[in-house]
Structure 1
């Protein structure tokens, strides 16, 4: 079987059509702003949703610890929402009680009227049995008249009661409705203020996730500080935070991919993060996916033109690492330190890599420490004997060479 080609001549290994949105996961809400701040996360294929939920579970508590003002705002809004919901519940309970109280007396009145009517009928029947048969006709006529009068009176009373109830209800209903409407409006307003801390933005690239910080809190949260704290916990404290996330980079500036925006925000980022007092090394880590307008060479030319001339390039152990991550139409910028010490900002720690050499002295522009090997007395004697033997051999060779020269003469 051959591969099935798409319209543009591209094909999949499995022979199917090319999938959209990073493998058909359908993640992301399309919350794409002109300027954003957030976190780039690398994960496995078809695990983007799991990575988003996993990142929220360990990112949000760390942000709330570092920036308690964010936690206080959310707590206030939650408390206000709880109070409004309690008011709505109490009003509903009061309405139910009033309805029950109104229904009980009406039922009691009907029962009492029926009992009275039954008693009157029994008394009349007894009197009729005592009277003579001649007066039966007159009594019957009188009873019919009385019954008609009673029916007319009962009908009038019922109509009066219904009119009174109808007059009371319209006066009560609007007051209850207006109160409930006001509470509902307050609750909706509070819920609109209660925004999420992190939003998922669709990158249209497989195995990559971008979590955007709420636009209201962009100036209050330092993304690089959050990621450095995470790396300290992972690599130094050896704590496991995630299952589905592999790498994490901060995105100090995230925007629509464009050369003008790249120059503008890169210049701002260099002024904010890179010092010009002393020379230091730097390197560029550029990734371009699903975008044909940019490549690593173009990005390097722009960054090299904006970097101060006092600094130099070093791709082995740089002091500054400039991250430029382009995912389709999204471009993310950040400047990191200790890039190789944190295993390229890996969130998962491999125990086999914990015994690697420490290159932190290179980031600090210091010389490596000299290694001192302890030696015993026996080893020193052996070394001295070897040195003496080597010297004796050299002397014997020199004497032989001199003798040979003399014989030739």
Structure 2
């Protein structure tokens, strides 16, 4: 007799994504309400470790003191130490010592599974701190306070945490939903233009995949967004986050057990471009170039109508997002060369496992999946985008004939 027990463990994750302003104002109750809402059985005061992006501290010189003042004004919370500053940007994800520093602080200050790590910063810092929290005690509660457009509208609202390894982006990571996400719009006011605009590439991406009306809104409001209209940005962040959350909850594969990852439209190239640039490129900038590349490839292959390809590139240009970056080269790319963007295809396949699966468009909000890409056609797409970027606009007359020839 060889019996088998088939175990089924249903798990439901619930977490709020709040949109607010001036979160650390002592008169603002949202953070207190969030952390005090689920006290441990002992009814002890919740213990909190706060980790902050050093770039955010530089942009808001009084923030460290404000955080400490907030906890002093709310004695039902215990800040276990002054905020721990960590480097911002991809450097924190590429330096194992930063994870060790967060682990050490969690250990030193007795932060357990009934306590909280509050991470304040851009997407890279949230990724790194989330990875540290998820691997301490097999999971410490994480509250994300994203401070960039891209982290508020995309990366912070999801279930992934990661760091870089072996020269590859997000090679180490966990799936661990946050306890809560607190989006404070005030943090966006000091962003450089490249970070204000770069994060909108994720809004464009999800609109192209899922919501033609949202794409139309982005098309109409691109100039206002480029001019830093706060009301327009509020809606762009909210709708983008909403679409990402709906996909995570409803796609049937929130923890990526399959080989398909639709929300990574444009990302096979983006991740490689970031790595090739030594992370000079921000993630949003690389995504913009990656989306442009995949849309151009789809147009050249006859999948995407030229009129819609032109609309997409026009939005990217209005948002001042480059459709071609030096790391893409001019088209003479060898997919076997790790220094070529085309080698990102195999790295993307390895990361997901199984066979290569790439989302492409047949129209606005009309995606399909393909399992191979023609390298010669990709080289032609790169060369075309190089011309578009050099000329500063999408040239006329038409560049694509029905057979996809230049």
TM-score with structure 2 setting the length: 0.23
Higher helix share: 1
User: What TM-score, normalized by structure 1, do the two folds share?
Assistant: 0.23
Give the number of the structure with larger relative contact order, counting CA–CA contacts within 8 Å between residues 6 or more apart: 1
